[in-house]
Amino acid sequence: MKLISTNRSGVKKQLRRLKMAAEREREVKRKQKLSKGDTFKLKVDKDHTDAALESIERLSCIASVGTTGIIEKVVKHQRGRLSKNIPEEVAPEPKTTMFTDDDFEKFQDEYFG
């Protein structure tokens, strides 16, 4: 309060400026205290493998014959709506036989007449 002037006008503004200056000083001190290794540790992402495995385990416990449709529906919904995320539909291959028409004619001649 010693740093604030005796005028009644602008007291809030002065207090705000003092708070901001104090925050800036604290930030500078905090940044100076951290070494390169500490800043790297702060930036390194956490390993979420354990949490992912736990959630997969919970899903596998839930998944039974009746709930597989629900899980597929959720996964399909979460996949996204972008065209790159939509799987291409594979056209079914036409059914072919190992025998030709000549083979059928030979078979018919041999067994039926």
pLDDT top residue among 9 and 112: 112
Q: Report the candidate in 50, 71, 49, 69 with the shortest Cα–Cα distance to residue 60.
A: 71
Residue 52 belongs to what domain range?
Answer: 11-62
Look at residue 44 and tell me if it is in a domain: yes
Look at residue 93 and tell me if it is in a domain: no
Query: Which runs of E-coded beta strand occur in the chain?
Result: none
Look at residue 19 and tell me if it is in a domain: yes
Domain count for the chain, please give it: 1
Q: How confident is the model over 57-74, as pLDDT tens digits?
A: 887 777 665 666 777 777
Amino acid identity at 69: G
Look at residue 86 and tell me if it is in a domain: no
Look at residue 108 and tell me if it is in a domain: no
% of residues, the chain, pLDDT over 70: 84
Q: Is the Cβ–Cβ distance between 38 and 53 less than 8 Å?
A: no
Query: Which runs of E-coded beta strand occur in 18-104?
Result: none
The pLDDT value given to residue 1: 57
Look at residue 21 and tell me if it is in a domain: yes
pTM of model > 0.75: no
Look at residue 17 and tell me if it is in a domain: yes
